[in-house]
Amino acid sequence: VPLSVQIRRHVERLIADGVLVPEAKLPATRDLARALRLNRATVAVAYDALVAEGWAHAHVGQGTFVANRRAPPPSPPERTPAVPLQWDGALSRAARRLLDEARRRQGTEVTGSPGVISFLGASPDPTLFPTEEFRRALNHVIKREGGALLEYHPVAGYVPLRRHLTAWLGRHGIEAREEEVLVVNGSQQGLDLIARALIDPGDAVLVEEPTYPGALQAFAAAQARLVPVSMGPEGLRVDLLPALVDQHHPKLLYCQPSGHNPTGVSLPPATRLALLEIARRSRLAVVEDGFGAPDEGAGATTPLRALDRHGLVIHLGTLSKILFPGLRVGWMVAPPALVAPILRIKQLADLNTGALLQAAVFRFCQGRRLERQARLIRAEYGRRRAALLSGLERELPSGSTWTVPDENAFSLLVSLPEGLDAVDLLPRALERGVAYAPGIFFFVGGGDGRALRLAYAALPVPRIEDGVRRLGEVVREAQRRRRRPAHPVGAGALPVV
Amino acid sequence: VPLSVQIRRHVERLIADGVLVPEAKLPATRDLARALRLNRATVAVAYDALVAEGWAHAHVGQGTFVANRRAPPPSPPERTPAVPLQWDGALSRAARRLLDEARRRQGTEVTGSPGVISFLGASPDPTLFPTEEFRRALNHVIKREGGALLEYHPVAGYVPLRRHLTAWLGRHGIEAREEEVLVVNGSQQGLDLIARALIDPGDAVLVEEPTYPGALQAFAAAQARLVPVSMGPEGLRVDLLPALVDQHHPKLLYCQPSGHNPTGVSLPPATRLALLEIARRSRLAVVEDGFGAPDEGAGATTPLRALDRHGLVIHLGTLSKILFPGLRVGWMVAPPALVAPILRIKQLADLNTGALLQAAVFRFCQGRRLERQARLIRAEYGRRRAALLSGLERELPSGSTWTVPDENAFSLLVSLPEGLDAVDLLPRALERGVAYAPGIFFFVGGGDGRALRLAYAALPVPRIEDGVRRLGEVVREAQRRRRRPAHPVGAGALPVV
């Protein structure tokens, strides 16, 4: 007899015998599970069955209570087409972990609404999209090879696009053979495939803190142990790596060395070399999330993969930040030994990325249109970045700090004055018509509460100025309400990164 | 010559000439860059190359120093191709299992080639694709809402399409609320998401045998224990389920009750009800892969989900068999309690299915064009099915058997005469210009070797007739070569299903 059934029967007996009286509160599932040394889900299944059979009733957020009833409950199949299957109890450990982590952030997942100036999503600006040019590219490829592009397609991707990417990556210093360049559904899928190919439950993964929440989720789904590595004003604190490697024996390091999300900072070249040297010595795999627009010719953002001579780095790239996020076309430059496993997993994950959009992207990229688009958006996002930085200087009270983003970045991270909390402030900010992403999303452990991300790429300069003004009002008002002098952080203090 | 190479050569010359002596400290990259008015990364790349080639050595935090050497350094690729990281050894258990299983089938993964009549892939016929109509639908939606469709999109899918699917499923007996209909990248992704949401390593999963290889792979990736359930001439042997449930306590049953791949058979209505009753009693989740074109109004293929009154069934649907496989648009009808976990996993898997193609599908579906397309292909595929069945009667020697596919099916399964093996025969079949998928792909344990799948939907009738004639020659020739009398299987024998 399963344990949950034993529990259920036991509670039924206690109710039938009058030991548990109507409206008595049953122990919390967590407490009972701990007392019985059982999984909490087992207890939850028993409670659900008690509710389904009329022995008890549940109130969300309050608990489960003995039902107020006289007659014994009729057998469920007749009276209720009761769901016999408790899907909640059937969830995998990975799914439960993801739900638990989502619950921790409940109420902080804000959606933009018409009246609100939204610094929420690290998205490009759709008004700068070359939509019409892309439509023409799409028509061209459908007319020329529509039937073939709408069939099943080899999992590694559309060959002309892979060949084009190989050359394009080569111009950014990344030498890769065509077989090593794999098309994926945006870099998010690349992350998930890497996690599935390399991580067993309990394996340690080093991540910059703060970092991109989608990476945290992909590694959490593989049941990794996430080990945060702090960041300094110039990005990842490479000096901390050797001790962390010794202590945790991580399988890999996930990082965004260029235009880091959320802070926007980029790792200096010498630190990149130092990072690779440590990785080589420690046999540490490095996942480089190559976020940001490509910086043609400038050495400042030479990708780690271009500097790697030991096959340590898996590089991820995406068109989401240059062209359109909605294409869901990205790529991975994989070490040769990972190509086969990654393709096997990609195949069972979704067979292949649709070839039609891959072909349209390839067509679009002819005549260096991708580079032109990258230049265009970089110039415009540069103006927005400048407007945000000077707005923050002007509007935020002393005690606030922020990171200074790289030219390829889409966002920066603000740290509120001491005593303020970005989650607490959010409802007031929304009332005042400004939205941001609280820091809780970007920190493994939730962070110190003062951090918030401002994504600026999608907002025109006047909206940025207006938004920062509103944010400044909200922050100053919250400070006044605290009726305490703010503790200004000295000019030499590190920004919260 | 790139600047970094010029710097490297210059420093090499200074060392070779003895200007820079062993252990001399090179200028800091920052200083040299400033002096030369170059980007610091350019200098760093040069220094990195000097270190890699043995001209210098670097100490993190101290600097780069001229190496203490006499002979010129050997070129690094020759002496140390040393990959410090053994990626093979770093693979996850799931990845290793997938590779092992792929290895088992090595050499049997055949690709079609121009001269060969290919019964390989269970794909629709691209010459019947409504490509031009779809192109117009795509243009319509890009012109009307291109910018928005190319942005990030909510993970559950494009709302007008989900609403349309809800109504369309309703016409096939499936009552689902809009929130329960989730868009996925083809039903393959649906399978993977279900496996990830429900399966922990070691959980048992019941699967029809033979079955769709993509399902076996998705459950294998979740490290399920796969428990095959035999099939009879009318599909899944539901009578075997109770004992298997008692023995293995499976988490779920995966099945394709309509137009099953590879056999093509459909489960009769009474057996569907029996299956659901067993599932209800055993609290067994059922994953229904709703492969095949929708059979408007005909009761024979009423989906399990339409008959399910207890919330046991997760239903998967796809446009791959009706419209285009290359769209990678499918859907899942999930029980309410699974919606949140599935969406969490979908989000980390690839953020969202691209909205552009979803919107184009929605536009295409206006005016019941999807139904018209389904009718058109069913009529044509029916002719192909008939041609294949009569060809098999005519061309295959006695001792061969085959399944009789449903009108919605794309393939059937042949069992060769005793003593013959589908893998062994494949090279000769290819020589003779005909290709098929050996049964090894569809059986958990590899099967008995006599099975092969013929997928007929993508081939016009004359090619089918020609292909079966060639296959018949290959089989008869192999029988003669064995110089043994064939053991004809009695007319009452079950087909290999």
Q: B131, A142: Cβ pair inside 8 Å? A: yes
| pLDDT value of residue B83 | 56
Q: B214, A356: Cβ pair inside 8 Å? A: no
- Strands A411-415 vs A401-402: parallel, antiparallel or unpaired: antiparallel
Angle of CA points B223, B111, A355, to nearest 5°: 75
B325: preceding bond cis by omega (within 30 degrees): no
Please name the member of A87, A127, A273 whose beta carbon is closest to the beta carbon of B335. Answer: A87
CA distance A280 to chain B (A): 6
> What is residue B55's three-state secondary structure?
coil
Write the burial class of residue B483 (CB in 10 Å: 0-12 exposed, 13-18 middle, 19+ buried): exposed
Instruction: Give the DSSP letter string of A372-399.
Output: HHHHHHHHHHHHHHHHHHHHHHHHSPTT
The whole-angstrom separation of Cα B206 and Cα B248 is 9
pLDDT at A371 over 50: yes
Q: B131, A147: Cβ pair inside 8 Å? A: yes
Q: Please report which residue ranges of A292-334 form alpha helices under DSSP H.
A: 304-307
Q: A87, B327: Cβ pair inside 8 Å? A: no
Q: What are phi and psi of A340, to 5 degrees?
A: -65, -50
The whole-angstrom separation of Cα A69 and Cα A20 is 12
Residue A15, CA atoms < 13 Å, CB-side half-sphere? 28
Please name the member of B92, B150, B217 whose beta carbon is closest to the beta carbon of A129. Answer: B150
Amino acid A252 reads L
pLDDT at A298 over 60: no
Q: B151, A324: Cβ pair inside 8 Å? A: yes
Please name the member of A98, A126, A345 whose beta carbon is closest to the beta carbon of B148. Answer: A126
The whole-angstrom separation of Cα B448 and Cα B439 is 8
Please choose, from the candidates A219, A210, A248, A125, the residue with its C-alpha nearest in 3D space to the C-alpha of residue A412.
Answer: A210
| pLDDT value of residue B483 | 61
Please choose, from the candidates A403, A439, A404, the residue with its C-alpha nearest in 3D space to the C-alpha of residue A423.
Answer: A439
Q: B189, A350: Cβ pair inside 8 Å? A: yes
Q: Which of chain A's residues have a Cβ under 8 Å away from the Cβ of B348?
A: 98, 188, 191-192, 214, 217-218, 220-221
Q: Would you say A264 and A411 are in contact if contact means Cβ atoms under 8 Å apart?
A: yes
Q: Is the ipTM of this complex over 0.95?
A: no
Q: B189, A151: Cβ pair inside 8 Å? A: no
Residue B244, CA atoms < 13 Å, CB-side half-sphere? 24
Q: Which of chain A's residues have a Cβ under 8 Å away from the Cβ of B320?
A: 152
Element (H, E) at A76: helix A76-79
Q: Which of chain A's residues have a Cβ under 8 Å away from the Cβ of B6?
A: none
Q: What does the mean pLDDT of chain A come to? A: 88
* Encoded tokens for A453: 């991300």
Q: Which of chain B's residues have a Cβ under 8 Å away from the Cβ of A352?
A: 328
Q: pLDDT tens-digit profile of B198-257? A: 999 999 999 999 999 999 999 999 999 999 999 998 899 999 999 999 999 999 999 999
CB contact burial A169-208 (16+ within 10 A = b; e otherwise): beebbbebeeebbbbbbbbbbbbbbbbbbbbbeebbbbbb
Which has more confidence, A137 or B52? A137
Q: A338, B135: Cβ pair inside 8 Å? A: no
CA distance B188 to chain A (A): 5
Q: B326, A239: Cβ pair inside 8 Å? A: no
Please identify every stretch of chain B with a pLDDT value under 70, giving residue numbers as ranges. 69-84, 291-300, 483-497
Rounded to the nearest 10 degrees, the angle between the axes of helix A93-104 and helix A213-221 is 150
| pLDDT value of residue A301 | 73
Q: Which of chain B's residues have a Cβ under 8 Å away from the Cβ of A354?
A: 326-328, 354, 357
Chain B: residue whose CA lies nearest to A145: B131
Q: Would you say B262 and B122 are in contact if contact means Cβ atoms under 8 Å apart?
A: yes
CA distance B469 to chain A (A): 27
Write the burial class of residue A113 (CB in 10 Å: 0-12 exposed, 13-18 middle, 19+ buried): exposed
Q: A99, B134: Cβ pair inside 8 Å? A: no
* Encoded tokens for B412: 């059937």
Please name the member of A84, A95, A353 whose beta carbon is closest to the beta carbon of B345. Answer: A95
Please name the member of A152, A196, A344 whose beta carbon is closest to the beta carbon of B102. Answer: A344
Q: What are phi and psi of B243, to 5 degrees?
A: -65, -40
Listed range (A164-168, A312-316, A467-471) with the worst mean pLDDT: A164-168
Q: Give mean pLDDT, residues A357-374.
A: 91
Rounded to the nearest 10 degrees, the angle between the axes of helix B29-36 and helix A269-282 is 150
* Encoded tokens for B481: 């070569």
| pLDDT value of residue B70 | 53
The whole-angstrom separation of Cα A273 and Cα A435 is 38
Q: Would you say B44 and B29 are in contact if contact means Cβ atoms under 8 Å apart?
A: yes
Please name the member of A325, A340, A349 whose beta carbon is closest to the beta carbon of B99. Answer: A340
| pLDDT value of residue B297 | 45
The 3-state secondary structure of B4-50 reads HHHHHHHHHHHHHCCCCCCCCECCCHHHHHHHHCCCHHHHHHHHHHH
- Strands A117-118 vs A434-435: parallel, antiparallel or unpaired: parallel
Q: What are phi and psi of B434, to 5 degrees?
A: -140, 140
**Which residues are CB-neighbours of B439 under 8 A, at least 6 positions away?**
B210, B262, B413, B422, B447, B448, B449, B450, B451, B452, B453, B496
Question: Residue B72: left (phi > 0), alpha (psi -120 to 50), or beta?
Answer: beta
Q: A328, B352: Cβ pair inside 8 Å? A: yes
Q: What are phi and psi of A185, to 5 degrees?
A: -80, 70
**Which residues are CB-neighbours of B470 under 8 A, at least 6 positions away?**
B117, B429, B432, B433, B434
Residue B110, CA atoms < 13 Å, CB-side half-sphere? 30
Q: pLDDT tens-digit profile of A422-452? A: 999 999 999 999 999 999 999 998 788 999 9
Q: Which of chain A's residues have a Cβ under 8 Å away from the Cβ of B142?
A: 131, 134-135, 138
Mutation for A interface: B6, B47, B92, B324, most A CBs within 10 A: B92
The pTM (predicted TM-score) of the whole model is 0.81
CA distance B319 to chain A (A): 11
Angle of CA points B40, B46, B50, to nearest 5°: 140
Q: pLDDT tens-digit profile of A47-79? A: 988 888 788 888 877 888 888 765 444 333 333
Q: What are phi and psi of B228, to 5 degrees?
A: -75, 145
With tokens 């070129």, the residue in question is B75
CA distance B162 to chain A (A): 18
The whole-angstrom separation of Cα B420 and Cα A8 is 56
Q: Give mean pLDDT, residues A304-318.
A: 92
Q: Would you say A466 and A448 are in contact if contact means Cβ atoms under 8 Å apart?
A: no
Q: A81, B186: Cβ pair inside 8 Å? A: no
Element (H, E) at B339: helix B336-350
Chain B: residue whose CA lies nearest to A359: B326
Q: Measured over all CA atoms, what is the biggest interatomic distance in chain B, rounded to whole angstroms?
A: 93
CA distance A219 to chain B (A): 9
Angle of CA points B173, B335, B328, to nearest 5°: 75
Q: A299, B42: Cβ pair inside 8 Å? A: yes
Please name the member of A129, A143, A147 whose beta carbon is closest to the beta carbon of B129. Answer: A147
Q: B131, A138: Cβ pair inside 8 Å? A: no
Q: Where are the beta strands (DSSP E) in A280-409?
A: 285-289, 313-318, 330-333, 401-402
Angle of CA points B301, B307, B311, to nearest 5°: 130
* Encoded tokens for A249: 């024996």
Q: A285, B149: Cβ pair inside 8 Å? A: no
Please name the member of A185, A197, A222 whose beta carbon is closest to the beta carbon of B185. Answer: A185
Please name the member of A147, A191, A251 whose beta carbon is closest to the beta carbon of B126. Answer: A147
Q: Which of chain A's residues have a Cβ under 8 Å away from the Cβ of B102?
A: 340, 344
Q: B58, A277: Cβ pair inside 8 Å? A: yes
Mutation for A interface: B189, B350, B357, B358, most A CBs within 10 A: B350
Q: B61, A239: Cβ pair inside 8 Å? A: yes
Q: Give mean pLDDT, residues A26-49.
A: 86
Instruction: Give the DSSP letter string of A91-108.
Output: --HHHHHHHHHHHHTTT-
Would you give the DSSP letter of residue A27?
P
> What is residue B124's three-state secondary structure?
coil
Please choose, from the candidates A495, A414, A429, the residue with its C-alpha nearest in 3D space to the C-alpha of residue A467.
Answer: A429
Please name the member of A92, A147, A357 whose beta carbon is closest to the beta carbon of B196. Answer: A92
CA distance B12 to chain A (A): 19
Please name the member of B40, B85, B280 whose beta carbon is closest to the beta carbon of A269. Answer: B40
Task: Note every long-range contact of A65-69, with CB atoms under 8 Å and residues 24 or more positions apart, other chains counting.
Answer: A65/A23, A65/A24, A65/A25, A65/A26, A66/A15, A66/A20, A66/A21, A66/A22, A66/A23, A66/A24, A66/A26, A67/A15, A67/A22, A68/A22, A68/A23, A69/A22
Q: How far apart, in Å, are the Cα atoms of A385 and each of A410, A459, B361?
A: 8, 10, 38
| pLDDT value of residue B487 | 46
| pLDDT value of residue A13 | 80
CA distance B480 to chain A (A): 38
